[in-house]
Chains A and B, each alone.
Chain A
Amino acid sequence: MTNSIPEFETDTNCFLIIGSNTSEGHPLIATRVLKAQKRGAKVIVLDPRKNQIGHWADIFHTFRPGSDVAIFNGLMNVIISESLQDEAFIAERTEDFEALKTLVAEYTPEKVAEISGIPADVIREIARTYAKGKPAAILYAMGITQHTTGVDNVKSTSNLAMLCGNMGILGGGVNPLRGQNNVQGACDMGGLPNVYPGYQAVTIPEVQKKFQDAWGSAGPLTVGMTVTEMLHATQEGKVRALYVMGENPMVSDPDLNHVRHCLEQTEFLVVQDIFLTETAEMAHVVLPGTSFAEKDGTFSNTERRVQRVRQAIKPVGDAKEDWIIICELARKMGASGFDFQSAQAVMEEINKLTPSYGGITYERLEELGSLQWPCPTVDHPGTPYLHKGKFSRGLGKFFALEFKEPNELPNDEYPFTLTTGRLMFHFHTGSMTRRSKKLDSEVPEAYVEINVKDAGKIGLNGHKRVRVTSRRGEIELGVRITDDIKRGVVFIPFHFAEAAANKLTNSAIDPVAKIPEYKVCAVKVEVF
């Protein structure tokens, strides 16, 4: 996030929430948004389903999954043609505005209405509300990123924010809401094939040298494989050994039948986790790791806030803290540089090698409770919002982006568009929440949500179970018939291994971010 959660309540005057089921995915952020609404802030929600926050919104509309770029272009078309943009911000802080202006001129509200299903008048109303609602914050989640055009979608959000001068100010910004507790931290720490900790590129020789000097040895100058590429490479034997810590790709990855096949082909699979997950069941060696309650460390939340995790109990049984397991394995392989006595000692090394974490020490976290990066030195107060006065690259760049159709469109055989997502009561692949009695009893089994008119048309009424089929697989599950979902769209939560939505989803990926298109694929729904 460019900005911070507390600002939403105190400073934001308009929220544009797109592709985020905020009330269920991030309940305590939704609370802030609703508090802001009470003091008069406007809340706009766009989603293929009328989710809970959609019911509370000042303006809500459904749209066709995958039409995001067109919608943003349409909003910018209205803002520019009504001269509602922030000219001073555009002149001083941005570049390539003319190219954007020329492109979005084509995206009239009428044209965008046809692509997205949002009526032209509603597009106009949203554009005016956002442009006049400064400071305005855009909030989004996987509904924006999990597309073959995910990177274009993200760039579109910052186009709109810059157009109205909503960057670098309190209460504004573009704010991706991270689904898992430490996605931010996993990225910050270099759990990515192209960067070392602190987003230092692996392809830059000076960076490589810095880590070589610190560690004695570093990675090559070439970018490594993404998770999707790794799985493909196991099939050809290009990847022979795979080490998975705390992830469950057997439920979380797209096109699960393919994932299973890949993991079966993997010559040597090591899984370190707290439960025997669907992925661990396929492993050659399973290492028992620990939950957050059994170890020390830090998590970085979605607003770049680094906070302590504190050990409350000893590891269960013979399990070990994950950081200790990694150190022991490294030492077994004869490596030096893994003699840490505590998580705090690891953080001290992170401080030295990661500029944005330079001043985030355990002593300061003890004293202050949390620190938001960038925090380069121990006397730096941390950074609640980014891009104040200047973007990290200098001028903010506008990207003129054409709308592109999703990879897989509905047709006669697969007439519905499937979109996937989360529920309030469950987390990710369900391996933790489904073992919590209270949470599991709320929603114990998978279901598909379908519009009441569509249900009538295919004769679903009165049926409790259905079969949903895509080009990649089929699952059987319960059905919920509702007014709250757009016609032609069906929704399945992805927490349930026995009816895994990801048996159906499309593994086509964004060419840059390599994110699979979870949010759109074509399916058919049948009674049986």
Chain B
Amino acid sequence: MIDYKNVLTTCPYCGTGCALHLQVLDEKLVGVLPAKNHVVSEGGLCIKGWNVHAFVNHPDRLTTPLIRKNGKLEEATWDEALTLIADKFGEVKTASGPDSVAILTSAKCTNEENYLLQKFARAVIGTNNVDHCARL
């Protein structure tokens, strides 16, 4: 059986916010269709929008956490990676104060992720050292 679906979503490139359908065949992205009745894109997309699916399954994708050991990044489990970060952030915060930690959120991530990361900075670390690169 072929498993095919179209998933309506928002283009991840520029701030115009065109809508598009991701074509999914057997859990793989195979293409993009524009969204005809969308208020912004009205069935149109630029060349970047038509190609949004292309990078998602690229072989360069990171698929596992990495930890630097003896100067080299080596594969690790989620538990090892998160434990290491939690310990180090905790130690830095205790020894040098919350403002010795700084956090960059992302203009490419979702609202929910940006919300959570600044909440993490302010509520868990206790710092307002949170910014993103979009002023750049």
A310 to B55, CA, bound (A): 17
Knowing A316-B56, A320-B78, A433-B55, the reply to whether A297 touches B40 (Cβ < 8 A) is no
Contact (Cβ within 8 A) B109 A241: no
Interface size on A, residues (CB 8 A): 142
Q: A514 near B: Cβ within 8 Å?
A: yes
Is there an interface contact between A274 and B62, defined as CB atoms closer than 8 Å? yes
Q: Does A393 contact B (CB under 8 A)?
A: no
B29-71 interface (Cβ within 8 A of A)? 29, 38-41, 44-48, 51-58, 60-68
Q: Are A241 and B102 in contact (CB under 8 A)?
A: yes
Contact status of A180 and B85, CB under 8 A, knowing A187-B134, A287-B65, A337-B119: no
Contact B60 A285 (CB under 8 A): no
Q: Contact residue range for chain B?
A: 35 or more
* B13 surroundings in chain A (CB, below 8 A): 180-181, 427, 432-433
* Alpha-carbon distance A451/B112, docked complex (angstroms): 46
Establish whether residues B129 and A180, one from each chain, have CB atoms under 8 Å apart when the complex forms: no
Contact (Cβ within 8 A) B106 A190:
no
Surface stretch bound by B, among A78-86, A245-253, A402-410: A245-253
Of residues 139 through 179 on chain A, the ones whose CB sits less than 8 Å from some CB of chain B are 145-146, 177-179
Contacts of B129 in A (CB 8 A): 193, 224-225, 230, 239
A27-35, A89-97, A118-126, A476-484: which lies at the interface: A27-35
Measured between C-beta atoms, what is the minimum distance from B87 to chain A in Å? 9
Q: Are B54 and A242 touching (Cβ within 8 A)?
A: no
Q: A29-B16, A230-B131, A291-B12 are in contact. Are A332 and B83 (CB under 8 A)?
A: yes
Q: Which residues of B contact A240 (CB under 8 A)?
A: 92, 96, 100-101
Judging by beta carbons under 8 Å apart, are A343 and B112 in contact?
yes
In the complex, A436 Cα to B52 Cα: how many Å?
8
Q: Which residues of B contact A220 (CB under 8 A)?
A: 98-99, 126-128
Seen from chain B, the residues whose Cβ lies within 8 Å of a Cβ on chain A are 5, 7-19, 22, 24, 27-29, 38-41, 44-48, 51-58, 60-68, 73, 76, 78, 81-86, 88-90, 92, 96, 98-124, 126-136
What are the 6 closest A-B residue pairs judged by CB atoms, nearest first?
A317-B63, A301-B17, A297-B110, A224-B128, A178-B15, A246-B106
